[in-house]
A and B are shown apart, each in its own frame.
Chain A
Amino acid sequence: MSLSLRDVRKSYGDVEVLHGVDLVGRDGEVLAVVGANGAGKSTLIRIFSGAHEMSSGEMRIDGEPVHLRSPHDAHERGIRTVYQELSIVPGLSVTENLLMGRFPKRRSGLIDWPAAHRKAKELLDAAGFGAIEPRTIAGRLTVARQQMVEIAKALAGEVRVLVLDEPSAVLAGSDLDALFDLIRRLKARGVLVVYVSHRLAEVMELADSIVVIKDGVIIETTEPARTSEDELIRLMAGRKLEQIYPDRRDSPGETRLSVTGLSRRGEFSDVSFELRAGEIVGLFGLVGSGRSEMARCVFGAEPPTSGTGAFRSPADAISHGLAFVTEDRKRTGLVGGMTVTDNIALATMRATTKGPLIDMPGRKERVAGMIDRLSIQPARCATMPVAALSGGNQQKAVLAKWLLAEPRVLILDEPTRGVDMATRVDIYRMIDALAREGLAVLLISSDLTEVLGATDRVLVMREGRLAGELRSEGTTEDEVLAHAIGVAA
């Protein structure tokens, strides 16, 4: 079966994010979609899955025009989507997650549990994930296994198109092999697999055709045989790699943060490292490696079970010159309903009062200075709700909040996730400039290119422990990944 898009456009409010996408996928093909964060991949996926309606354009299945109005519509037509964010219900068993809404019933109307578990087992076996026991509570599985349950769930019934959004982000080793096997088998059965990933090595290995999306348009349609990873990076970024990241910094100065034997039960253990003035240190690890948890603990957000170097509370950390740009700006970085000014001033509010009141003119001036310095767009956004800014500018607002506190140590957790390439480059420049002024920077990232390109050295975490420390210069992405997965010599 074939799936084609013609001149598909999508706008949210006044903002158009897809500017006329043309795309053809044929049956028995793996179609890889690659692009930088914010290029429009997620929007494209939501259109495939029926989660969002396109604003204009045409979708055809087997040459016949279709209009998907809901995920149900897409499901009916055999289009299944596995999102990056898992939708597993953690308190229910694997069987319940797999068969939700479609349980086999007895004549009495009650659920036939033995039959349900059998059916679940069949689904898992068919997907090649037979190692998962249907009766397990889904929340007790590793993230990788939960992902596999999610995929098995998508494969129930008749599947004609399978859309996988960054499926390999949490998989490694034999789990990854199982996924690749599955994709090859589906392909042989004539299923069209749309594979969205920014792990380019995988894309080169799996894909039959590759489309590169950038700023909401498809800028290239190619095949592995006709392109290279370097070429793809250049296309995605719109510039060469060496133009994205600033030059590395000279030898670092005094120690600014020293963590020794830091542990927190169930999350990470025995982590020791130092951050020095003027250096940018990368921290890489797969989901579940404990990297963000460790950073939160150092910042005083959660108490450690043992070890030294963590602060008592965020207030304590801030008073010692720490700043922490968290991973999820919606949940932990911004107060969405408040203005840009309120958000940027949040961490420095108490330190800048006149008597009992906030010094309003002073606050306005400081915020305006930050908006200008970080070129937050639109320039007159001070009184706008922060939620009205684009993702990249929201990220800059979070950064502005912390820079106002004049930190000496800056921890950044995934600062470029969901941020367009132009803003990414701005952020790299900003971090570089700060480091050169003498800040110590810890850059937590799951983007291998970034974690090597923007840093001086890289710490790798695996299963809650520090698994290696590498010099960024001259280290390859595969070497970092090998440490993170645990296959390094």
Chain B
Amino acid sequence: MSVNALPKISRDLLVTVAFGLLIVVMVVVAAVTTESFLTQANLTNLLKQMVTIGLLAYGMLVVILTGGIDLSVGSVVAFSGILTAGMVSSLPIPAAMAVGVVSGIGFGLVNGVLVARFGLAPFVVTLASLTTIRGLAFVYSEVPIAPEDPAFFTLGSAMAGPIPVSTLIMFAVFLVGGVFLTRTPAGRSIIAIGGNAETVRLAGINVRRHVVLAYTVSGLCAGLAGVILASRVGIAQPSVGVAFELDAIAACVIGGASLAGGKGSVRATFGGVLVLVLINNLLNLYGVQSFWQQVLKGLIIIAVILAQRTNRVRA
């Protein structure tokens, strides 16, 4: 009852504070219980690891807000990476990278058109493109491609002071992406479509176009993530990125996004990314075997979501 009496704003604040606290606690625990967490090498590594999942999570959030899902992002990461690496031999590096990103945009566009124009279920469409695009990555090159030009590594490894450039790019995506979703007609329309597409349509807004836009944004993010990942690792593999879509979805859901659409926040999704990356990093530092890592990660996701749900029921 006392929670009920609180005004809405402070309840949101409560959730945000609780979330922030969780992240702080994880950082403190990591810093206190391990010697290696606070080393520069580990922190830099952490910041770089965030980039892929961060980019994918933002794109995923935009799609989830429309009430859809994009299962193809992991495959797009592989395809855009290997395409870029393959193009390096014939194109200048920035152009090759642009081609990789554009391939992501293209796949997103196709997903979006299939969902919006033909009314197919997002889950089915992107499940099909998951396997199709993965196949295309292997068709393009069965073996990993490792470009020798050191300039290929710049995007993924360059530092701007203490922070990797790629991390700054991811931050910029979240910043611009946040403004897009909260301050532009297109962003508000996307959120409203997930809440009630028919209301939005009758308000004279082109629902299909906005749904296509959402999948295209996701494709763009996945394409960018693939290029950055290949550049960071220095080698592009057609097999990379399996199950990345699940981490991206998990980040959105931990951030309180509703898979039914219409509800989700950019800030909280960023928090979800932090939580996931910290979990991974901590378990690595503790030397937990990778299969157990998967088990623990799953359990932690359920715990976080249950905590949110309890909170909502009480509210």
Contacts and interface: CB of A to CB of B under 8 A. Distances in A.
Interface of A: 13-14, 299, 301, 313-315, 317-319, 324, 326, 331-338, 342, 346-347, 349-350, 353, 356-358, 360, 383-385, 401
A338 B189 CA distance: 11
A338 B195 contact: yes
B192 interface: yes
A324 B198 CA distance: 13
Contact of B199 (A346, A356, A383): A346
Interface stretch (B16-24, B130-138, B179-187, B229-237): B179-187
Max count, chain A CB within 10 A of own CB: residue among B196, B201, B203, B205: B203
Contacts of B199: 331-335, 346
Contacts of A13: 4
A105 B303 CA distance: 45
B27 interface: no
Given A349-B185, A358-B183, A317 B196 contact: no
A315 B204 CA distance: 4
Contacts, number: 76
Nearest to B203: A347
B147 to A, nearest CB: 37
B201 A346 contact: no
B4 A358 contact: no
Contacts of A299: 202
B183 A357 contact: yes
Contacts of A383: 8-9
Max count, chain A CB within 10 A of own CB: residue among B9, B204, B205, B263: B204
Given A13-B4, A315-B205, A346-B192, A357 B198 contact: no
B271 interface: no
A342 B203 contact: no
Contact of A384 (B8, B198, B200, B262): B8
Given A318-B204, A333-B199, A342 B185 contact: no
Contacts of A319: 204
Given A338-B192, A350-B185, A357-B179, A331 B204 contact: no
Interface string B161-192: 00000000000000000010001110011011
Contacts of B205: 315, 346, 349-350
A337 B262 contact: yes
A306 to B, nearest CB: 23
B284 to A, nearest CB: 38
Contact of A349 (B189, B196, B201, B263): B189
B204 A314 contact: yes
Contacts of A353: 184-185
Nearest to B258: A337
Contacts of B294: none
Q: Is the interface of B mostly helix, strand, loop or mixed?
A: helix
A301 B201 contact: yes
Given A353-B185, A401-B203, A331 B192 contact: no
A332 B207 CA distance: 14
A329 to B, nearest CB: 9
9 contacts: A313-B204, A315-B205, A331-B196, A331-B198, A332-B202, A335-B195, A342-B192, A346-B192, A349-B188
Nearest to A346: B203
Contact of A334 (B9, B196, B201, B263): B196
A306 B185 CA distance: 34
A358 B185 CA distance: 6
Given A342-B192, A384-B8, A314 B262 contact: no
Contacts of A315: 204-206
A314 B202 contact: yes
Given A357-B183, A358-B185, A336 B202 contact: no
B15 to A, nearest CB: 15
A305 B203 CA distance: 23
Interface in B191-229: 191-192, 195-196, 198-206
Contacts of B183: 357-358, 360
B184 A356 contact: yes
B195 A337 contact: yes
B200 A337 contact: no
A383 B10 CA distance: 13
A331 B4 CA distance: 27
Given A315-B206, A349-B185, A357-B184, A332 B198 contact: yes
Contacts of B206: 315
A358 B184 CA distance: 5
Nearest to A330: B196
Contacts of A401: 203
A317 B204 contact: yes
Given A347-B203, A358-B188, 18 more contacts: A314-B204, A315-B206, A319-B204, A326-B202, A331-B196, A331-B198, A332-B198, A332-B199, A335-B200, A336-B196, A337-B262, A338-B191, A338-B262, A342-B188, A346-B199, A346-B203, A357-B183, A358-B184
Contacts of A350: 185, 205
A385 B196 CA distance: 14
A353 B9 CA distance: 26
A356 B205 CA distance: 16
Nearest to B193: A335
Nearest to B260: A337
Contacts of A301: 201-202
A334 B200 CA distance: 8
